[in-house]
Amino acid sequence: MIARPLELAARLSPPPRNFDAYFFINSGLLVLFFALFGSRFVLEPGLGVDFQLPTVADARQGAGGTTCHISILRSEQIFTDDGLLNLAKLPDWLKAQAQKTPHPGLLIRASTRVPVADISRIFSMARSAGFGPVILAAEEPASDRD
């Protein structure tokens, strides 16, 4: 009596013995819901735990405001707000983003594993697309953060 004072288990309805039409209707609606309204962030890969920005002394002095950003994990994995892109599709995306605002700025969050040649290519793509400030994200060394 002390362990089960309300006897809730006795008041529950028994579980169904077979899969009736409601099971298949609910399953179909769930599949339809995720197909129509599914988020691209659920199934697509994201930035891993090992994503590291380069460390630069006095990195905060070069900080500024930007209108959009991209994150680069590897040379062919460029994450934007619209999803995953590669270097071939990036110029079109940059042109579309530059036309949305009067003074566009771009923040590039590149991992330490991305070659400098690829970052400079992206810089030139952004400048030719019409971006004013193009800023490369960096962190300050651990001793400078305190």
Q: How far apart are CA 118 and CA 75, in angstroms?
A: 7
Domains of the chain listed by start with CATH number = 59-145 (3.30.420.270)
d(CA 144, CA 21): 64
Helices (H), ranges, the chain: 8-11, 21-37, 40-43, 90-98, 116-129, 142-145
For residue 129, which of 101, 100, 102, 91 has the smallest C-alpha distance?
Answer: 91
Phi, psi (rounded to 5 degrees) for 19: -90, 110
The pLDDT value given to residue 70: 92
Question: What is the residue-level pLDDT of the chain in tens, covering all 146 positions?
Answer: 566 777 887 888 887 677 678 888 888 998 888 777 766 555 445 556 567 788 888 877 767 788 899 988 877 788 888 888 888 999 999 999 999 988 899 999 988 888 889 999 999 999 999 998 898 888 888 875 55
pTM of the predicted structure, to 2 decimals = 0.63
Closest CA to 50 of 108, 107, 113: 113
**pLDDT at residue 130, rounded to an integer:** 92
Q: How many CA atoms lie within 13 A of 27 on its CB side?
A: 6
